[in-house]
Amino acid sequence: MRVIVVGAGVVGTMHAWHAVNRGHEVVQIERESEARGASLRNFGQIWVSGRAGGEELATALRARELWQEIGGRVPGVGFRACGSLTPLRGELETAVAEAAVARSDAADRGYRLLTADAARVLNPALRGDFTGALWCERDAAVEPRTAQLALKQALLASGRYTFLGGREIREVVGTASVRDDHGDIHTGDAVILATGAWLGGLVRELAGPGLPVRRVRLQMMQTDPLGEDLTTSVADADSFRYYPAYRGDALDALNSGQPQAPTAAEHRMQLLMVQRRDGGLTIGDTHEYEHPFAFDTVQEPYDHLTRVVESFIGRPLPRVRRRWAGVYAQCTDTTRVVHRQQVRDGVWLVTGPGGRGMTCSPAIAEATADELDW
C-alpha cells in the first residue's frame, strides 16, 4: 500500500511508523518544515497511572509496550522506564492514594503506597517534607524534543518513506488523494489526517461543524540542569484532581476538605515534572479551555510550580531556562481515547487524544492500522 500521512506530530509519525513497519510506502506531509506543536511541547511522559479504567488504560499499557520496543530500536527516542512518585501530605491525600492502590487494576498500573523513606530510596532528590508517596511503576518517559526527529531518521533509513515539509494540504481531490499548496497531488491507498490542534480550514470543511474536539492551551517551563538525578517522574496531589483513575469518594473528600491553592484552581493546575537527558527539569502545567486563548504567558503559575517543586526537593529550583505555551486537541467526550472518523473515501481524520497523545500515540496508530487492515 501507499499511505499518505498529513501531520508530523507524534500521532502522525506513529501512523507512518506502523505503515512502514508493515511493509508499506509512506509519504508524510507537514505544513511546517518540521513538527513544532504539542508533540514537542510536552513532558514526554508515558503516563499510565492516571488513565481511566477499561479502554483508556488498555490503550496506555499497549502504547507503553510499543514505546519500549521502539525505544530499543531507536535510541534517540530516549525511552526510560523511570516510573513516577506522587508525594503525599496528610490524611486526605493519602486516602486518595490508598483508594488507588485498592483498585482492581492497581497491579496493571504498578501502584504501591510507600513511606517517605522508601520513596527517597527510589528518588533521593526528594529531600523535602512529605509523609508518603504513591509509586506508579508502569509510568515511563521519552524525549519529546528529539523523539520525532529520531523516528523520522529511522523511517528514512527504511527506503519506503518520504517526508515533505513546508506543505499544507488544501483539498481532497479524489479517493485517497489530496492536493497541497504547491499544487502537487498525492494519491495513495489511504490518507490519514493527523492534524493535531489544527482544526480549522480543511479539517472543518471535511468533518463539519459538529467535530467533537476542542483545543486546550497549557503553560510549561524547563530549568537548567538539576545537578543530580531525578530518578522518577514526579507529580503532586493536584494531579489526583485531574486524572480519572483517582475519582471516587476519597477524591471528593480531598476536593471539599483541602481545596486547591487559588492560583492552581484559577489555572486548573497540577504538577508534573520529568528530568531531561541534559539534567534539566520539564515542569508544568496549566489548562485553559475558553477561547480565544491568551496570547501571552503569565507568571503566577510558574511561581506556584516553583514553590511546589522546591517543597519536594528541599532546595532552590535551578534557573528557568525556557517558558512556553502549547495547544493540543482533546475529544469533548473525554471517555474516548481519540476521535477517528472517515471524512471522505479513503481519507480518515485521527485527532483529539488530549493530554494522552504522547502516551497513547503508538497504540492509537496501531488501532488505525488494524481497522484499515494495513
Task: Decide if 55 is inside a domain.
Answer: no
pLDDT tens for residues 356-368?
A: 999 999 999 999 9
Residue range of the domain that includes 191: 2-41+145-211+337-371
The predicted structure's pLDDT at residue 134 = 98
Residues 226 and 272 in one domain: yes
Same domain, 198 and 304: no
Whether residue 110 is found in the same domain as residue 235: yes
Beta bridge partners of 177: 174, 187
Q: What is the per-residue pLDDT for 348? A: 98
DSSP H or E stretch at residue 174: strand 169-174
Mean pLDDT, residues 183-206 taken together:
96
**Is the Cβ–Cβ distance between 144 and 157 less than 8 Å?**
no
Please state the pTM of the whole predicted model.
0.96
Q: What total of structural domains would you count in the chain? A: 2
Q: What is the largest CA-CA distance in the chain?
A: 63
Q: Is the pLDDT of residue 205 over 90?
A: yes
Residues 89 and 207 in one domain: no
Query: Is 184 part of any domain?
Result: yes
Does 51 fall in a domain? no
Residues 358 and 296 placed together within one structural domain of the fold: no
> Are residues 37 and 156 part of one domain?
yes
Q: Confidence band (pLDDT; 50, 70, 90) for 39?
A: confident
CATH number at residue 29: 3.50.50.60
Concatenated DSSP letters for 3-45? EEEE--SHHHHHHHHHHHHTT-EEEEEESSSS--STTTSS--E
